[in-house]
């Protein structure tokens, strides 16, 4: 078949996770298709402030770049009490009121299996507020990823962020390929954890249509006194323009293949 009769290949979506206003601007300026907005990325991401959510919505609306907010009330595991689930329900309302496109959440039983009852309530609540729902990497704790995938689909979840069960996405390519095949387009399988321009190639070969990355780099302390008093972490990082642009260029090239 002549090349011009082939269906065009769509470039994989690039979602960049950010936890600062500066990182948000950098990601949007240099090629992110979607933002995952969090607080305390060093803790794996917690629920961001209302002010940051509103800034993301306002900035994204100007550029056509949607933002999904992490709904996670504390650091640690994803086995939640009734009080914590109540907080999550309220934070979902806050995300909707700020004008965001969706939320990212998860809930697990102590066995690691998805907490279907908790997730059902959260998803119904989010959908009632016209929010898309992504399941975060708590998914990878499930003892049976194939079963967890079907549970997520049955609950009406729109996307799963996963490393394919590996410590990183690069180590979980076999699992990612399995999930993509099983999902068969019923849900977005988004690869995440440790993805960079240098290792994304084999991850794309799994067939995932979305890539999730932090694209960050170390930043020096701006205030030596604040650093000396312990307010500034020596390992602070923020979104790096070059890292976003480089990963964007690779994904764009894949779409032209």
pLDDT of 232 reads 65
Strand partners, 105: 135
Give yes or no for a contact between 121 and 86, defined as CB atoms under 8 angstroms apart.
no
What architecture is the 12-256 domain classified under in CATH? Answer: Alpha-Beta Barrel (3.20)
Q: Which of 65, 55, 61, 52 is nearest to 19 (CA)?
A: 52
Secondary structure (DSSP) of 53-98: HHHHHHHHHHHT--EEEE--SSSS-S---HHHHHHHHHHHHHHHHT
- Give the tens place of pLDDT for each residue, 10-64: 899 999 999 999 999 999 999 999 999 999 999 999 999 999 999 999 999 999 9
Backbone angles phi, psi at 167, to 5 degrees: -60, -35
Show the tokens assigned to 92. Answer: 């979902």
pLDDT of 1 reads 33
Q: At what angle do helices 82-97 and 50-63 cross, to 10 degrees?
A: 40
pTM for this prediction: 0.92
Which 8-state DSSP code applies to residue 112? Answer: S
Residue 82: Cβ-neighbour burial (10 angstroms; 0-12, 13-18, 19+) = exposed
What is the b/e burial string over 83-104, where b = at least 16 CB atoms within 10 angstroms of the residue's CB? ebbebbeebbebbbebebbbbb
Q: What are the sequence ranges of the domains in the chain?
A: 12-256
Give yes or no for a contact between 25 and 6, defined as CB atoms under 8 angstroms apart.
no
CA separation, residue 103 to residues 1, 156, 239, 250 (Å):
42, 13, 20, 27
pLDDT of 255 reads 75
Q: Which residues of the chain have pLDDT under 70?
A: 1-9, 221-223, 226-230, 232, 234, 256-257
């Amino acid at each position: 078949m002549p090349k011009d009769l082939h269906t065009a290949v769509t470039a994989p979506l690039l979602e960049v996770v950010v936890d600062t206003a500066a990182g948000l601007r950098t990601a949007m300026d240099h090629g992110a298709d979607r933002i995952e907005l969090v607080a305390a990325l060093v803790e794996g991401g917690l629920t961001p402030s209302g002010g940051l959510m509103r800034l993301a919505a306002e900035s994204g609306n100007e550029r056509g770049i949607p933002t999904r907010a992490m709904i996670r009330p504390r650091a640690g595991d994803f086995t939640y009490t009734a009080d914590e689930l109540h907080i999550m329900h309220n934070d979902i309302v806050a995300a909707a009121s700020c004008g965001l496109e969706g939320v990212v959440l998860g809930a697990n039983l102590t066995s690691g299996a998805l907490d279907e009852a908790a997730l059902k309530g959260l998803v119904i609540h989010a959908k009632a507020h016209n929010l898309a729902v992504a399941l975060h990497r708590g998914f990878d704790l499930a003892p049976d990823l194939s079963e967890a995938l079907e549970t997520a689909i049955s609950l009406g979840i729109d996307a799963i962020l996963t490393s394919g069960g590996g410590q990183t996405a690069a180590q979980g390519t076999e699992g990612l390929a399995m999930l993509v095949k099983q999902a068969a387009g019923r849900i977005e399988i988004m690869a995440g954890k440790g993805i960079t321009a240098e290792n994304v190639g084999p991850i794309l070969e799994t067939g995932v249509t979305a890539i999730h990355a932090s694209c960050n780099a170390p930043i020096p302390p701006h205030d030596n006194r604040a650093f000396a008093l312990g307010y500034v972490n020596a390992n602070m990082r923020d979104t790096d323009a070059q890292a976003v642009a480089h990963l964007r260029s690779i994904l764009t090239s894949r779409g032209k293949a």
